[in-house]
Amino acid sequence: MADRPIVAIVDDDKSIRNAISDLLKAAGFHPVAFEDAESFLGSPDRALVDCLVADMRMPGMSGLQLYEALAAAGHAIPTVIMTAHPKETTQLRVRAAGIRGYLIKPFVPDELLDCLGGLLDNPAPGPIPRS
């Protein structure tokens, strides 16, 4: 992991991408933002990313589908899924896929920072950071 962990933010809402990017910069991370999963998958910088923060619901590929595509290609990275539409079934699907971070929008900045800290300090499977 780099001195400044690289965190990819994938969300179709520009204001969310910008707010999370600003938060992560202030907290010492190196954020890179993408408007959709396809843009992230096509990025040459994808292999440098230490952690992924993705929205569950986006046009095209969802955050869960993005993680599953990465995992299927052998490139699963610590991931936080965010959703404004929480359902128990969604959380169960996220956990079953091996994703350890799950946040319900809106969340307070410290929830995301705590979740990222837990994932980056211990990227191996373990307890899921929860909001």
pLDDT, mean over the chain: 91
- Residue pLDDT, tens place only, 73-113: 999 999 999 999 999 999 999 999 999 999 999 999 999 99
Banded model confidence at residue 3, pLDDT cuts 50, 70, 90: confident
Q: Shortest CA distance to 9 belongs to which of 123, 122, 101?
A: 101
Tell me the H-state helices in 4-124.
Answer: 14-26, 37-41, 63-72, 88-97, 109-121
Closest CA to 68 of 45, 46, 96: 96
Q: What is the reported pTM?
A: 0.91
